[in-house]
Amino acid sequence: MVRKPKKPFIRDVFQAELTKGAARTKPDGYPIIEEWMVPKEPPKDVFQWDRRQDVIVPEESGMSFYCNDSGFIPILNNPQGYVEKLRKYYCVIGIDPSPYDNMPLVVQKSQIFNNLAITYYYGLQGLKVIPNVRIGNNETIGALAAYPKGTLIAIGSHGFTRKLENRKIFRDQVAIVVDVLHPSGIIVYGPASEYVFKAAIKAGIPIYQYDSYTMKQNAKDKAEKEGKNHEGI
């Protein structure tokens, strides 16, 4: 005899469990990241998810998702299944689905929501999280109300600032973030030029810059090339 469950099975298609109990912003309903979820000190190093095999000391390392979105789709689809895999790291930097400013506004807001929802959920599970501040065009600035003020935040410059025309956009957004959140420090994965982070530098906010995997590889290739040239002299 097959017993029927007392409660019907309900598939959580919209991942409502991730933000259960969260305070929310108005009018968009983004889950608000709590200050207590964020560590006081930055990690000693930061790695990207698709290069997690490079991590030597996980308890001192921050795990980020500054890589192609395809690299962390399994986490987007099943964030609950990765809690214990991520727990070994010193902290987790908020997921980074890209809300490009040329996307339809509804898509930009959806990407931002996914970032905040998964970050909130991991914080609630006891993982130290550093919110990854990712906004799209100016119509998404209201999402900053979901981030804690006066804590560490993360900003990924890897990739986006390669084009000169993007740097002014990025600089202006950093200025807005600094003005609204007054962070205690900014984790930057990738280049941290004075031009882009002028507002933070002017405000005396510490910038903790970590070379991206690409930057490390470029430096390694350059050193090897110089070494070979030296040998040929």
As a whole number of angstroms, the distance between CA 95 and CA 188 comes to 14
As a whole number of angstroms, the distance between CA 34 and CA 213 comes to 30
pTM of the predicted protein model: 0.87
pLDDT in the model for residue 6: 56
**pLDDT score of 165 more than 80:** no
Average pLDDT over residues 36-61: 97
Q: Is 99 left (phi over 0), alpha (psi -120 to 50) or beta?
A: beta
In this prediction, what percent of the chain has a pLDDT beyond 70? 88
pLDDT digits (tens, 9 = 90+) for 2-14: 555 554 444 455 5
- Sequence-distant (6+) residues with CB within 8 A of 48 are 64, 65, 66, 67, 71, 189, 212, 213
**pLDDT score of 110 more than 70:** yes
Are the C-beta atoms of 157 and 188 separated by less than 8 Å?
Answer: yes
Lowest mean pLDDT among 68-77, 182-191, 195-204: 68-77
| Residue-wise DSSP of 197-209 | THHHHHTT--EEE
pLDDT in the model for residue 14: 54
CA 108 from chain center: how many Å? 15
Position 229 confidence tier, pLDDT thresholds 50, 70, 90: low
From residue 184, alpha-carbon distances to 4, 181, 221 in Å are 53, 9, 35
